[in-house]
Amino acid sequence: MEKNKLYITDTILRDAHQSQAATRMRLEDMLPACEMLDNIGYWSLECWGGATFDTCMRFLNEDPWVRLRTLREAMPKTRLQMLLRGQNILGYKHYADDVVEEFVRKSIENGIDVIRIFDALNDVRNMETAMKSVKKMQLTHPSAICEAAISYTTSPVHNEEYFVTLAKKLEKMGADTIAVKDMANLLLPMEAYSLIKKLKQEISVPIHLHTHNTTGTGDMVNLMACQAGVDIVDCALSPLANGTSQPATESLVATLKGTDRDTGLDLGKLSDVAEHFRKVAQKLTKEGFLDPKVLSVDTNTLRYQVPGGMLSNLIKQLKEAKHEDLFYEVLAEIPRVRKDFGYPPLVTPTSQIVGTQAVLNVMSGERYKMVSNESKGLLAGQYGQLPGEINEEVRKKAIGDGEIITCRPADLIKPEMEKYRKESAEFAKSEEDVLSYAIFPQVAEKFIRERDKPKVTNEPRVLYVDDCSIN
């Protein structure tokens, strides 16, 4: 890496549309821009993983593996990046180590360079197998990068020292780069400056910052992090930037032009490729996937420390239960539940677990009279170790004398690949199909069967001149 230069990862092909448009950008919307994107000079392009895998098969009738290979071919020069939920891969439960390893292997073989690995609880044991798998692949794919991410949150146990200690641990485990993943835009500019400064002192691998602009502080966070010496920053091209998405690439590039942190990116080239994505954004708006509401600054997150996406979910849940009047009571209950549960960062799946439990606590009129299975699992250690101390009274009420797991959850799972291969033998055509099935069994089976159906039409075959040509 060049000294001083700030490097940019563009999220336009993944987080930008996941955050603003329900992950509905299609491969056909990406391809016309690929050559331009490949010539910008980004550090990487985030284009796979996160919610894209599920959405491809469930809604877009697209094979996620084909999308990856096609993008790889269309952008031979730029690093392609994906987001992986550690032992959860791209799903919502813990998988056996052999599935994680195979998924990482196939992702890299199909074209991924950078794998950003995180765990909702920051339990590094849930990141270990994925990280080791990337390191192993580096023997045959030296361009592969193992990026370990810290899930940023605020709580009495989450201070600067906590994050620096965590980063040191991840560096020791072999991380090639460390990301600070601020999924809810809770990181404030001054704190970003201080945290990045400290990380730069204590860590020798590059530091990569990921924030959003939900609470309106994103550009300031990036700029302060830049002043503190951050190496790489996530941005999104302007047509799908800001609000719940990342701050705009062009704005940061222009801000740093001519300074010692100049990104070296060309505003003219960025504007050419932005023109394409403006049309894509218009199309997504027309289709109803992009609601301009996601663009406005949401300061409630700053007041209540509850991620924006969680607030809108909550409103929906209460509306369905015809109890919108309880909104502020539930909002006040969320931090209490989070405290009882040992302050998990609020990100999928913990955000849903804590939010739902807060609703149950308020609606039933007695705290923990009703406890969801997911809450029980979280309290029993099934998701990994919680960052802070758990309220033992609450745990007792929820799971009684039920077993509590203190080991790495995946240690209790036997190898699963063979089982998935057998179960999908009848329709899976490749190891990639088996992996799709392993992660989303129903969705993948339905998708693959439809994909491979012979396309029969009842229309009479039209004879073209060439069909009967005799020359």
> Which string of x and - marks every residue 164-183 that binds Mn ion (by CB under 5 A)?
-------------------x
Of 25, 13, 4, which is closest to residue 234 (Cα–Cα)? 13
> Which string of x and - marks every residue 118-137 that binds Mn ion (by CB under 5 A)?
--------------------
Min separation Cβ 259 and Mn ion, Å: 26
Min separation Cβ 260 and Mn ion, Å: 28
Rank residues 37 and 183 by Cβ distance to Mn ion and give the closer one: 183
- Count of other CB atoms within 10 angstroms of residue 136: 16
Give the range of 14-22, 117-125, 294-302, 429-437 binding Mn ion by CB under 5 A: 14-22
- 229-268 positions binding Mn ion, by CB under 5 A: none
Contact 381/409 with Cβ under 8 angstroms? Answer: yes
Of 63, 66, 105, which is closest to residue 84 (Cα–Cα)? 105
Rank residues 151 and 375 by Cβ distance to Mn ion and give the closer one: 151
Q: How many residues bind Mn ion, per CB under 5 A?
A: 2
Q: What is the DSSP string of 39-87?
A: TT--SEEEEEETTHHHHHHHTS---HHHHHHHHHHH-SSSPEEEEE-GG
Contact 244/21 with Cβ under 8 angstroms? Answer: no
Min separation Cβ 208 and Mn ion, Å: 12
- Count of other CB atoms within 10 angstroms of residue 60: 18
Rank residues 24 and 105 by Cβ distance to Mn ion and give the closer one: 24
**349 preceded by a cis bond (ω within 30 of 0):** yes
Min separation Cβ 287 and Mn ion, Å: 22
- 180-209 positions binding Mn ion, by CB under 5 A: 183
Rank residues 15 and 340 by Cβ distance to Mn ion and give the closer one: 15
Rank residues 183 and 444 by Cβ distance to Mn ion and give the closer one: 183
> Which string of x and - marks every residue 339-378 that binds Mn ion (by CB under 5 A)?
----------------------------------------
The Cα 166–Cα 443 span in angstroms is 36
Angle, CA 441 vertex, CA 438 and CA 443 arms, to 5° = 130
Rank residues 183 and 187 by Cβ distance to Mn ion and give the closer one: 183
- Cβ-defined contacts of 291-297 (< 8 Å, 24+): 294/19, 294/20, 294/243, 294/244, 294/245, 295/20, 295/242, 295/243, 296/243, 297/213, 297/214, 297/215, 297/216, 297/243
Rank residues 101 and 147 by Cβ distance to Mn ion and give the closer one: 147
Min separation Cβ 20 and Mn ion, Å: 11
The Cα 386–Cα 348 span in angstroms is 15
Tell whether residue 15 is a contact of Mn ion (CB under 5 A): yes
Min separation Cβ 210 and Mn ion, Å: 6
Min separation Cβ 18 and Mn ion, Å: 8
Q: Which residues bind Mn ion (CB under 5 A)?
A: 15, 183
